[in-house]
Amino acid sequence: MTDHYFSGEPGVADKRATITAWIWDTEFTFTTASGVFAKEHLDKATDVLLRASPPPPAGSTLLDLGCGWGAIACAVAVASPDTVVHAIDTNTRALDLTRINAERLELSERVLAFLPDDVPADATYDQIWSNPPIRIGKAALHDLLLRWLPRLTPDGTARLVVGKNLGADSLQDWLTDQGWPTARETSEKGFRVLVVRRPA
């Protein structure tokens, strides 16, 4: 079976690396590894999402959906005091890296990494941020979004970054058709940032 960044247990050797990234005028040092998405640098899509998005208000609850090695989760927790982030991924190596990166930044009490099935059943979120795993396939992506969007609080929003050539516009239309009002907030470098709101 081909090994993907969304594989639960990556088959490739765990080769660690250290990278730096500038997010919201702060320089971060992150540990990454083989078998995890964007191991060599902060990927363009996530960079677009972060630059297009202000940090959430202090004290928010946020879901980093498909957290990878934890760039979004850690950056949000640093920039937004008292905000608690649930970082979820199906890749156990990615979760280990998220925990390592959160610990380095002394964020272990506010950045909590989970497998999807281990998230507390009653957890709700003011915001969901995601560079979603488009390559899992359309049906699986739709199931993923419909599983987590209902966790938004009544005034909550989700911020998704999707490549234009990977179906951003059709995903926007599909979400709207499903009863989740979705607007394109910005478009940059071939990526769309979509903002999804709860139905009225």
Between strands 182-188 and 191-197, the pairing is antiparallel
What is the band of 5 on the pLDDT scale with cuts at 50, 70, 90?
very low
Dihedral in degrees, nearest 10, Cα atoms 78, 66, 123, 55: 30
pLDDT of residue 11: 67
- When the pLDDT of each residue in the chain is averaged and rounded to a whole number, the result is 94
pLDDT of residue 4: 44
What is the band of 1 on the pLDDT scale with cuts at 50, 70, 90?
very low
Which tens digits make up the pLDDT trace of 127-181? 999 999 998 999 999 999 999 999 999 999 999 999 999 999 999 999 999 999 9
Task: Decide if 64 contacts 129 (C-beta within 8 A).
Answer: yes
What is the band of 8 on the pLDDT scale with cuts at 50, 70, 90?
low
CATH architecture of 43-197: 3-Layer(aba) Sandwich (3.40)
Which tens digits make up the pLDDT trace of 67-100? 999 999 999 999 999 999 999 999 999 999 999 9
Residue 185 CA: distances (Å) to CA of 10, 59, 161, 196: 34, 24, 10, 10
Which tens digits make up the pLDDT trace of 22-76? 999 999 999 999 999 888 999 999 999 999 999 999 999 999 999 999 999 999 9
Task: Decide if 3 contacts 34 (C-beta within 8 A).
Answer: no
Q: What is the CA radius of gyration of the chain?
A: 16
Domain boundaries, the chain: 43-197
Q: What is the three-class DSSP state of 33?
A: strand
pLDDT of residue 139: 96
